[in-house]
A and B are shown apart, each in its own frame.
Chain A
Amino acid sequence: MSEVRVIQIHESIFAENDRTAERIRERMEKQGTLFLNVMSSPGSGKTTTLVAVINRLKDKLNIGEMDVDIQSSLDAQRVADLTGIRALQIHNGGLCHIDADMTARALLEYDTAGLDLLILENIGNLVCPAEFDTGAHKNVTILSVPEGDDKPLKYPLMYQVSDVVLINKMDTVAYFDFDLEKARERILALNPNALIFPISAKTGEGIDAVCSWILAETERVKRGA
């Protein structure tokens, strides 16, 4: 019988990405940097949330931020202007996500030595970013109240891969038909270990709880646990 060569292209791309992601994670671990990947729909308040969190933590932690967008630099500029930390804008040339290799290339341009916390603000999208390990220690996703409590039903993978879900724009909950308990149930059905924090990046509600979680995680990375 003649032999046929079979190549699993799909799988190998992901396998290669996972290896690169693992290398990034190990490197961050070694230098004592907690690496967070923040994902959400467009306009759910990633940048506003990060500004609120960074401003509360910047005296305690040395923080870096990398912002991914298709072609604009509005977000990194906003983070830098409003927090005073060093922010890097990554333009991904029209792609719907950032993978570990792209993250590794961004890290060549951005000195992370001495950082306690590195945040990656992913592209606004609930589909593609969920599929690619970026090398982050923890995945954080934001669901904003105006988007509706049905998002976990429609984009299940995002919630399966997220360790933390921030429910943002809680200050507008009276205005929209959003059932927090239903959202919570739907998230936990996909991922029973997900930590859920209701917040308002605008009013500051719930941000302290998120900061406490981040501080505990930075300690964990430093201990090498």
Chain B
Amino acid sequence: MEEVKIIALKESVLEDNDKDAQNLREELKANGTCLLNLMSSPGSGKTTTLLALNRAFAGRLKWGVMEADIDSAVDALTMQQAGVPSVQLHTGGMCHLDADMTRQGIRALGLEGAELIVLENVGNLVCPAEFDTGAAINMTILSVPEGDDKPAKYPLMYETCDILVVNKIDALPVFDFDRERMERYARKCNPDIEIYYISAKTGEGVDALADALVEKVKAWCK
């Protein structure tokens, strides 16, 4: 079986995560690297979406992935098998990553000249929203089976995010999911949030999301 690099993260001792995050963002900017923090509930399709994006990027970006989980290395292995440089980060039971933990991950990934590094955060809608990781883009996924009321219940997540990806739209006929209601709740949290509808499984809508990301990354790295 293929081997995946697994890193056990140490909890940050820094008091001021916001300041540390800002420093990391500036370091990355100077390096020409855009960090994207990807957050969602468990099982909403973060890894599958990244696989679909990899196909849609079609070599336009040099990119890598940091997979954060409490346990297991299945996600990093999946990404690595798809040819995306990856590292598995173990949070030691913690429900989120902060800027210092993110920095440890970027160092472990060690991807020279990366234009985009994606941090796939722990599957959780509460804690990750509270910690600035130093990312230039915060993106969240809401999958159709979770229901259209999530922005009403976890508002901070939607306030924090620049992009909302609604995944598993191929399953819309099977679930009671009201797009308008969801958008109303999401825009109440964040009027500027960009919303993309995709199915990572069928590929529907993925190209538009990939194009938007490529554009944002290139603009950041300039």
Contacts and interface: CB of A to CB of B under 8 A. Distances in A.
Contact of B69 (A128, A131, A147, A154): A154
A161 to B, nearest CB: 13
Contacts of B95: 96, 125, 127-128
Contacts of B72: 150, 153-154
Interface in B37-59: 41-44
Interface stretch (A70-78, A80-88, A214-222): A70-78
Most buried by B among A44, A127, A131: A127
A157 B70 contact: yes
B143 interface: yes
Interface residues of A, number: 35
Contact of B126 (A74, A125, A150): A125
A69 B153 CA distance: 7
Kindly state the interface size class of chain B when it binds its partner: 20 to 34
Contacts of B203: none
A-side binding surface: helix, strand, loop or mixed?
loop
Contacts of B145: 43, 144, 146-147, 169, 172
B205 interface: no
Interface of B: 41-44, 69-72, 74, 93-95, 122-127, 130, 143, 145-147, 149-150, 152-156, 168, 171, 174-175
Interface of A: 41-44, 69-72, 74-75, 94-96, 123-128, 131, 144, 146-148, 150-151, 153-157, 169, 172, 175-176
